[in-house]
Amino acid sequence: MCSAIAMDAVAAGEGAPLTALYLARLAQEAGIPPGVLNVVTGCGAEAGAALPAHPGIRKMTFTGSPPTGTAVMEACARNLTPLQLELGGKSPQIVLLDADLTKAVPAIVRSIVMNSGQVCAAGSRVLVHSSLHDRLVSEVADAFRVVRVGLWDQSVDMGPLINARQEKRVLDYLAIGREEGAEVVVGGGKLTGEPYDGGYFVAPTLFDRVTPGMRITQEEIFGPVLSVLTYEDEEEAVAIANGTRYGLTATLWTQDVGRAVRLARRVQAGQVAVNTLGDGGPAGAIGAPFGGYKHSGFGRSMGPDYLEDWTQVKTVVINAA
């Protein structure tokens, strides 16, 4: 999704335009004058590409993949248009020795099944101390087995993927994980039969015996796929956590606040949550600044940093004598 200052234009994602259109309707009903908020729909290569290429745009934000973000940045550069990017993540959840698993496990599961894993801040990598590995994998697997998957029902925990292209992408990564030697503990394929026929439903999948160099560890899958890696000490945990090109969010599970603060400084992520989910959880709900390090982008949404980013400093010097 792109947004820009023209009056204010939003290019809705081609796979999910209805939310932006509904927001525009609410804005109209609330009395916002016509032309203040404009929603552009259509394919990204045409409708979306028109915004960063337009010389009248004074500021732009983009949320999407690194390749598309790079193209948007190149287009903005031609007009020297200021830009903010949020380009996804491969967010680690570090489970330390003193973690309360009764709190950690439900949150770990929620972080990857929420919106079917199609969340930039999804906690798709679990880094667990080797002595807790077996217990954590067992408890997460049990929780995965009872995830309610469906559609048009408020009681379900997870719905379908957005389209056939995304379903194929996720299924391809499941095959890649197996080929790389990871072990499928739960899930691992497409859900079939009633009520799944005709939809893009992939079972919540738990990979174990995953190593840092595997593609399922390094690349954003954008689906309900969780990988478990082990570590022996804090140094190794930090190295694994920082060992991808992304740096959007991270979660620490520990009862030692001092340790949490120490590790939070070292983890390369724009938002670090301790014993809770970050964006989308309490931190997201209060409007804390959100944005990434490295290939997860630059700039922040929410909070005072976001407001300041959409202003421009002007210096006026007057000699009144």
Q: Which whole-number Å values give the CA distances from 80 to 55, 59, 64, 254, in the listed order?
A: 9, 10, 21, 45
- Alpha carbon distance 56, 202 (integer Å): 43
Catalytic residue status for 43 = no
pLDDT at 1 (0 to 100)? 60
Instruction: Tell me what pLDDT residue 306 has.
Output: 87
Among candidate residues 120, 167, 219, 232, the one labeled active-site is 120
| Strand pairing category for 83-86 and 297-298 | antiparallel
How far apart (Å, rounded) are the C-alpha atoms in residues 266 and 235? 10
Q: What is the pLDDT of residue 9?
A: 83
Confidence of residue 285 (pLDDT cuts 50, 70, 90): low
Spatial CB neighbours of 51, under 8 Å, sequence gap ≥ 6: 2, 4, 6, 9, 11, 40, 57, 60
Please determine, for residue 282, whether its predicted confidence score (pLDDT) is greater than 50: no
pLDDT tens, residue by residue, 212-251: 999 999 999 999 999 999 999 999 999 999 999 999 999 9
pLDDT confidence of residue 21: 94
The model's pLDDT over 18-66, given as tens digits with 9 standing for 90+, comes to 999 999 999 999 999 988 888 989 887 787 788 888 998 899 999 999 9
pLDDT at residue 103 tops 50: yes
Q: Is 120 one of the annotated active-site residues of the chain?
A: yes
pLDDT number for residue 4? 56
**Average predicted confidence (pLDDT) for the chain:** 92
Between CA 202 and CA 196 the distance in angstroms is: 9
pLDDT for position 43: 84
pTM of the entire predicted model: 0.91
Within 8 A by CB and 6+ apart from 114, the residues are: 122, 158, 280
Residue 272: half-sphere exposure toward Cβ, Cα within 13 Å:
21
Catalytic residue chosen out of the listed positions 2, 29, 43, 86: 86
Q: Which of 3.40.50.970, 1.10.3720.10, 3.40.309.10, 3.40.50.920 is the CATH number of 92-296?
A: 3.40.309.10
> Is the per-residue pLDDT at 157 higher than 50?
yes
pLDDT of residue 6: 46
Give me the residue spans of the domains in the chain. Answer: 2-86, 92-296
pLDDT tens-digit profile of 146-156? 999 998 888 99
